[in-house]
A and B are shown apart, each in its own frame.
Chain A
Amino acid sequence: MLGLVVPAILSGLTTGAVYALVALGLTLIYGVLHIINFAHGSLLMAALYVALVLNMRLGLDPYVALPIVVAVFFCAGYLLQRFVVDTFSHGRDANILLVTLALSIIIDNGALYLFTSNTRTVDVPYAFDMIEVGPAFIPLPKVVAFVAALVIAGLLWLVMRHTRLGAAIRAVAIEKRGAELMGIDVKHTYAMCFGIGTACVAAAACLLLPTFYVTPQVGYAFVLVAFTTVVLGGMGSLGGALVAGLLLGVVEALCGLFLGETLGQIGIFAAFILTLLFRPAGLFAPKVA
């Protein structure tokens, strides 16, 4: 049994990196706009379909499609925030929740209409290639997802820490009026955040597609984990989301190992409940970025 633990942990880390990527988008939007984006899972699903269609119609490999899908979803996220969420919510938080909820219903049903509820997958030649990592063999796409997710998280960190935009985002997150008086366009900054958050799920979708299936409901599985990750990592904390995502991936893998494959996610929700009971502010001190 013990010989299986290390491979389970490694495999869990690869899943966890994708959880972290989805959660990074969610926590960034929460940390800056102070809203919970209920459409996050639906956007993940939509990105999976876009990558799927690019693969079926144009034969594009999901990894090749990644930059395209990310760019498209960044723009979509920007426009959604600027012209839909902001416009229809009239600046009231309760309305924002409803607008993102409405968006998710529209996207979900749009997908159902366009693609039916059939489960689909892509065929990639490397789907079953294995890579030897220490004592374990990990599917190649999972290794790619792990590395890419960490690289993207690193890029996000660089943008937040070392660019003008990143400084503006962190400023707007905590002192909107002060930022406005420096000439920072708050609405533009919000939309950039929404765009970046959406780009994160788009990247996650392309990394998932080679090993995962697509249905119009697939977003929910991830978004529940993502909410857990965001809370565990401390709402709004990017570093926290990364660590919490990896942690939850491992928890899930170990629960799967000891309780049986289908019960893996029990560990995630147990961790969630324990967090709420004992560390409601998250494992790490909550702070923006």
Chain B
Amino acid sequence: MLEISGLKAGYGPVTILHDIAMSIEAGEIVAVLGSNGVGKTTLNNVISGIIKPRAGTLRFDGQDITGKRPRDIVAMGLAQVPEGRKIFPNLTVRENLELGAFRRAGRNRARNFERMCTIFPRLRERLKQRAGTLSGGEQQMLAIGRGLMSEPKLVILDEPSLGLSPLLVEEMFSLIQTINRDGLAVLLVEQNVVQSLAISKRTYVLEQGRFAIVGQSADVLNDPKLRQTYLGL
């Protein structure tokens, strides 16, 4: 579904990502783990077309998407729920959700809107509220709901559990499994190592712009290097 090879990207004179190769199959949850500042968000933004790569190719759904504009990538069915949510605070919850279907699945907007209200009942109660006044957890729900409004085939979630209370983190991870059950592929970018490994099929661990550990999530969990660096065991 998504194949990346030889990817290089950065900002100005600095190169952040060196020679990245990864793939995501249809219906899979794939985790990308890594500590602060290693380039996870940069990778997401390259995939979404916001940052142009310096080298390498990206293919999505059989097509070359290297250097394509964000709007075209969204139109193909690749959505991103960005770090920091980036919802529209001045718009209502309803308007935020509706804008999720701006480029794609506009015809099914009403149906998907209803679906989001079912998945996120707390949003349904607040449809007329300005999104900026939602709590952090509600904003994260809204950001995910908005991302799913375009009926993506692959959704990138950039640190969806960031800033959530432990209870909500649990809820978030089970939610990710729920949306994946319908066949939606998920690229889960996280720092929550244990839970991400638990729900993902495969994992890539990013270190200094390269994937240091790659494998089935069950194997990665037992990788001595990972246990030492990320779990302190």
Q: Which residues of A contact B (CB under 8 A)?
A: 164, 167-168, 170-171, 173-175, 177-185, 287-289
Contacts and interface: CB of A to CB of B under 8 A. Distances in A.
Contacts of A170: 88, 90-91, 95
B6 interface: no
B88 A179 contact: yes
A167 B74 contact: no
Interface in B56-84: 69-71, 73-75, 79-80, 82
Given A167-B95, A181-B70, A183-B74, A174 B89 contact: yes
Contacts of A174: 88-90
A171 B88 contact: yes
B217 interface: no
B102 interface: yes
14 contacts: A167-B99, A170-B95, A174-B88, A175-B88, A177-B86, A178-B85, A178-B88, A181-B147, A182-B99, A182-B100, A182-B102, A183-B71, A287-B90, A289-B90
Q: What is the interface of chain A mostly: helix, strand, loop, or mixed?
A: helix
A183 B87 contact: no
Contact of A182 (B69, B74, B85, B90): B74
A175 B99 contact: no
Given A170-B88, A175-B89, A181-B147, 13 more contacts: A167-B91, A167-B99, A175-B86, A177-B86, A178-B85, A181-B79, A182-B150, A183-B74, A183-B150, A185-B71, A287-B90, A288-B90, A289-B90
B119 to A, nearest CB: 18
Chain B interface category by residue count: 20 to 34
A70 to B, nearest CB: 26
A171 B50 contact: no
Contacts of B91: 167, 170-171
In order of increasing CB-CB distance, the 5 nearest A-B pairs are A183-B103, A183-B74, A178-B86, A183-B71, A171-B88
A216 B104 CA distance: 47
B86 A183 contact: no
A114 B102 CA distance: 44
B88 A184 contact: no
Contacts of A181: 48, 50, 70, 74, 79-80, 82, 86, 147
Contacts of A288: 90
A157 B65 CA distance: 38
Contacts of A167: 91, 95, 98-99
B104 A183 contact: yes
B224 to A, nearest CB: 37
A220 B2 CA distance: 55
B8 interface: no
A184 B86 contact: no
Contacts of B71: 180, 183-185
Given A170-B91, A175-B89, A178-B87, A183 B82 contact: no
A97 B78 CA distance: 36
A57 B194 CA distance: 77
B228 to A, nearest CB: 35
B33 to A, nearest CB: 22
Contacts of A180: 50, 70-71
Contacts of B74: 181-183
A102 B100 CA distance: 38
A174 B99 CA distance: 14
B202 interface: no
B41 to A, nearest CB: 11
